[in-house]
Amino acid sequence: MSITRSAGLISAAAAVVVAAVLAGCSNGTSQRNRGPTDTTARREQRAVDALNLKDRYKDVVMGADVQGSTLVLYVDVNNLYSMDEPSEDALKTLTLTQWKHIWVAEHPNKHVKVRLSVRDYYGNEVTAQAVNV
């Protein structure tokens, strides 16, 4: 067996060992960090995704992200402002109302102020609304 081939096999074996160690570390870490709030946040995000805001407002809504009691709605500001005012208000009001129902379903008997934060592409807040639950 040549020295070059032996070095290649050792490198490959070392890479496999490193990958196995990293996989073991990441699994242990994710298991420790996973808790009920992570599960709740995932369920809330799935419920928000099921609202199909990106499909209903194709040119306006770019995405939505759950951040605690705040729903962040990313929009194309130019297209948001080119909507007529009643449509823009309806988008915000209906989204906040639906977010309130989602949050209450996941956090029964808890009282907070849930927010809808409408942000541009860069994450700058354009407008926000809140409601107490």
Per-residue pLDDT of the chain (133 residues; tens, 9 = 90+): 555 454 444 444 444 443 443 444 444 434 444 444 579 999 999 999 999 999 999 999 999 999 999 999 999 999 999 999 999 999 999 999 999 999 999 999 999 999 999 999 999 999 999 999 9
Give which of 82, 76, 83 is closest to 120, Cα–Cα.
76
Q: Are 126 and 77 in contact (CB under 8 A)?
A: yes
Q: Please give the Cα distance from 93 to 95 (Å, whole number).
A: 5
Distance of alpha carbon 116 from alpha carbon 108, whole angstroms: 19
Q: Where do the structural domains in the chain lie, given as residue ranges? A: 1-34, 36-132
Copy the structure tokens of residue 48: 């928000």
